Structure formats: C-alpha cells, structure tokens
C-alpha cells in the first residue's frame, strides 16, 4: 500500500519570516515540552457545501475564530499527538502515522464531527514536517511533536453537531516529557474523580477528557505525584489508565498485564506496539482487568516486579510509587532499575529513530 502519495489537497503559501537559523538553534537548545513551536501550520476548512476544502500550509499564526464558534461553548474538539524523529543521515521518520489518522476519525465519530479523510490527515502531517524539518531536534530524547486537531468553527449557540470545522496541524520541538525517568515517577490514585464512563467519550482523544482530569491532577500534585491513575467509574476498583497514558504491570514471571480496551480506555498506539514487541521478546501479555487491591497485594508480595505508563509523549515511564488515602506502596525492590521497562523502551526507541531494522513496517520516511 502506498501510504503517502495522494492527489494534493493542501496548497503551499509563500511562507514569510521563518525563524533565522541561529535563533532557531538557540530555541531548540532547551525546548521543554509544548512551548517551542515550529514556523508553519496547516489549516483545512470544512463546510457542508464544499466538504473539506481550502487546505493551506502557511506561516504559524492565530486562528480567526468567531466568538460564537461552537467549540468555545460546547467543546466539539479532538486532537492527536505524534512525533517525527531524526534518524541517521538526517532522515526524518514518523511512527505509525496511519494509526493516528485512523484514531482521529474514530474520535470524530464519537464527538459527532465530520471525519478528516485519512489521506488528508497524512498529507497535512507530511507537508508540515517536510517544511519544518529543521525543527526536528537531533539531540538524544528530542523530537518534533506534531499536534493535529479539529474544532467546530461554526458560529452558533445551538446544541447540535456543527456544520463547519477547522482541521489544523501545528508542531513543536520537544525534549523529554519527564525530566528524570531513570527512577520512575510516583503516581496518585484518584478515588474521587473518574476519567471516563461506559458509553462516554473515553475512547476519543478529546480535550473534554483532559479538562475533566485536571482536578484529579491537582489533587495528585498536592500529594507529591506528577501523574494520576484512574479507576473504573462503576466499581472504583479496576485500574484503567493515566490521564494521558496507558499502563502496564510487569509480573516476576515474564508476564505483562494491561487493562483491556472495553470502551473507556484510549486505544494507545504505544500500548499496541508494546504488546507486539513484548510478545516477540517472549513475554506473555494479558489484556485483562487488574484491580487496585491486587496491585497493592502483588507489590507487597513481590509478585509484581515493575509497572509503567506509556504514550507517545513520554514513551515508557516507570512508576516508582503509588499513593492514595489508604497509604502509599513502592514498586520493585528499593527503587530497582526497571529492567523490563528499560528493555522495551530501548527497543521501541531504536525502531522509532531508525537505529535498527524495523521488522514491523512501523516507520515511515518523510
Ligand atoms: C494519547 C493518549 C494515550 C496514549 O496514546 P499513544 O497513541 O500511545 O500516544 C493514552 N491515554 C490517553 C487518555 C491519551 O489521550
């Protein structure tokens, strides 16, 4: 299947004032996460009469938006998160972009939005990365984080699916998501707040889910935790995922457990890739429910060796400690060095950065 070359829907406009090379290099020295934006963006419009039209690659700039645009009132909004990596010989690599294109369409369905055709999504991402390729860092751990998103732009205050949308792609140079992951991060178990309910929007990557996770996040911060893990909404018993990352439990018998995708958990592409990688390395991977009580018990008995969170932004991040109102528990023996998470992280990153052969066909050259 030819993944990329399609009839073009996106016009390249004369691009004014790209950041001068020396300034760009200074900005990229210490890019942080989500603040060092590239020079350009793609904008494509949707209307009922014209469908997707007026696709443009242009200088990055504020969006003209009517104050009645329905996204501002009723939150019809979805997004994706993906990365471009600089490989050997300065080649630029994308990781499974067609999976993001597919999930974006799924999110649109959940939010009653007009879906962006997958070819258009991929063309937009390719064009932006091509023109902003100098913004892809070559530093270890660095990448160009790409943020496609779609908003309801129709100016009206009625509660119904909009008839006009904007599809936009922006990008930023990023370093590591967490400052130091070698020892793992402590996470807070949210008992008062849930992220998603059966029949809700948990499988869509939408801003509303993130907005709803912020009070739990704030509670986590108060207890010294950078991240929150959510329990299921009905029994408040089963581990689901973090606010923006899926979760794996590593048993001491080469078995990995991850919660099943049963309608409330986001279908992570990193999660899916780790399942394949781990099976090929001889691990047994079970997609089955795992409770907080079990987690506590397995951590105490030593049956649980490690736990980690995974997602595009932070790749694989070990969990060092779990905190809730019933008392904290540590994972692994005295801050152990998480060999399984490290092995999987290195394998995944080696593929993403083109350092090893890619037997899965996951990597796409820009
Ligand atoms: C984006 C996201 C993930 C991770 O998905 P990846 O495709 O691996 O980046 C996990 N959970 C939630 C809620 C997310 O929004």
Over range 83-95, report the average pLDDT.
95
- Final residue belonging to a domain, choices 154, 174, 194: 174
Tell me what pLDDT residue 285 has. Answer: 98
In a shared domain, residues 259 and 331: yes
* 356 vs 366: CA distance, rounded Å: 18
Q: Which atom of ligand 1 is nearest to the CA of 270?
A: 8
Residue percentage of the chain with pLDDT more than 70: 95
Contact 178, 226 (CB under 8 A): yes
Predicted TM-score (pTM) of this structure: 0.95
Among 9-18, 51-60, 312-321, the minimum mean pLDDT is found in: 9-18
| pLDDT single digits (tens) 267-300 | 999 999 999 999 999 999 999 999 999 999 999 9
* 256 vs 304: CA distance, rounded Å: 10
- Final residue belonging to a domain, choices 139, 174, 209: 174
In a shared domain, residues 138 and 201: no
> How many structural domains does the chain have?
2
Ligand 1 geometric centre to CA of 338 (Å): 22
Q: Dihedral of CA 201/165/59/354: which sign?
A: positive
Q: Which atom of ligand 1 is nearest to the CA of 273?
A: 8
Angle between the N-to-C axes of helices 97-110 and 118-131, in degrees from 0 to 180, rounded to the nearest 10? 130
In a shared domain, residues 281 and 133: no
* 75 vs 200: CA distance, rounded Å: 14
Q: Domain containing 270 — which CATH number?
A: 3.20.10.10
User: Measured from the CB, is residue 259 less than 6 Å from ligand 1?
Assistant: no
In a shared domain, residues 190 and 169: no
Ligand 1 geometric centre to CA of 116 (Å): 19
Ligand 1 geometric centre to CA of 75 (Å): 19
* 260 vs 272: CA distance, rounded Å: 11
Ligand 1 geometric centre to CA of 4 (Å): 24
Domain boundaries, position 241: 185-352
148 Rama class: left (phi>0) / alpha (psi -120 to 50) / beta: beta
Nearest CA owner, ligand 1 atom 10: 245
In a shared domain, residues 216 and 135: no
Ligand 1 geometric centre to CA of 16 (Å): 34
106 or 181: which leads in pLDDT: 106
* 287 vs 168: CA distance, rounded Å: 34
Over range 221-238, report the average pLDDT.
95
pLDDT of 1 higher than 80: no
Q: Domain containing 113 — which CATH number?
A: 3.30.470.10
Tell me what pLDDT residue 179 has. Answer: 66
Tell me what pLDDT residue 8 has. Answer: 83
In a shared domain, residues 14 and 163: yes
Among 31-35, 42-46, 334-338, the minimum mean pLDDT is found in: 334-338
- Closest of 9, 1, 171 to residue 82, by C-alpha: 171
Contact 313, 283 (CB under 8 A): no
């Amino acid at each position: 299947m030819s993944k990329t070359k399609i009839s073009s829907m996106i016009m390249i406009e004369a691009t004014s004032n790209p950041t001068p090379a020396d300034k760009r290099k200074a900005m990229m020295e210490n890019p942080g996460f989500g603040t060092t934006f590239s020079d350009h963006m793609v904008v494509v419009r949707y209307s009922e009469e014209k469908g997707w039209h007026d696709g443009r690659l242009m200088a990055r700039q504020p969006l003209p938006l009517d104050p009645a645009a329905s996204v501002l009132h009723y939150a019809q909004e979805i997004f994706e998160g993906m990365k471009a990596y600089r490989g050997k010989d300065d080649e630029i690599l994308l990781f499974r972009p067609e999976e993001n294109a597919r999930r974006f369409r799924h999110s649109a369905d959940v939010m009653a939005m007009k879906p962006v055709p997958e070819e258009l999504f991929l063309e937009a991402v390719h064009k932006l990365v091509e023109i902003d390729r100098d913004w892809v860092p070559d530093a270890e751990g660095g990448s160009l984080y790409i943020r496609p998103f779609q908003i309801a732009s129709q100016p009206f205050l009625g509660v119904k699916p909009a008839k006009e949308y904007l599809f936009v792609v922006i990008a930023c140079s990023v370093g590591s998501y967490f400052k130091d992951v070698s020892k793992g991060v402590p996470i807070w178990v949210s008992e008062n707040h849930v992220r998603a309910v059966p029949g809700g929007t948990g499988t869509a990557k939408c801003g509303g889910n993130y907005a709803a996770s912020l009070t739990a996040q704030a509670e986590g911060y108060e207890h010294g935790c950078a991240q929150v893990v959510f329990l299921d909404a009905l029994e408040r018993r089963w581990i689901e995922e973090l606010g923006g990352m899926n979760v794996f439990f590593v048993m001491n018998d080469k078995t990995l457990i991850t919660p099943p995708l049963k309608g409330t958990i986001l279908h992570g592409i990193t999660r899916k890739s780790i399942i394949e990688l781990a099976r090929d390395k001889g691990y047994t991977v079970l997609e089955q429910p795992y409770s907080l009580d079990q987690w506590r018990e397995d951590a105490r008995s030593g049956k649980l060796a490690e736990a980690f969170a995974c997602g595009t932004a932070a790749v694989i991040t070990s969990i060092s400690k779990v905190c809730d109102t019933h008392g904290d528990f540590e994972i692994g023996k005295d801050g152990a060095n998480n060999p399984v998470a490290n092995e999987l992280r290195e394998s995944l990153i080696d593929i993403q950065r083109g350092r090893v052969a890619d037997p899965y066909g996951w990597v796409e050259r820009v």
